[in-house]
Amino acid sequence: MSIKDDIARQEKRKKEMNGLFKTKAEPKMRISTKQRIEQAEKAQMKRILQALHDGKRTLPKGWERGYNAAVTAVELALSEK
Q: CA-CA distances (angstroms) from residue 25 to 39, 45, 49? A: 26, 35, 39
Q: Is the pLDDT of residue 32 over 70?
A: yes
List, as one string, the DSSP characters of 12-61: HHHHHHHTTS--PPPPPPP--HHHHHHHHHHHHHHHHHHHHHHHGGGS-G
Question: pLDDT tens digits, residue range 39-49?
Answer: 998 898 888 88
pLDDT reported for residue 40 = 92
Tens of pLDDT, residues 40-75: 988 988 888 888 888 777 778 888 888 888 888 888
Q: Alpha-carbon distance 49 to 5, whole Å?
A: 73
**Domain map (residue ranges) of the chain:** 3-80
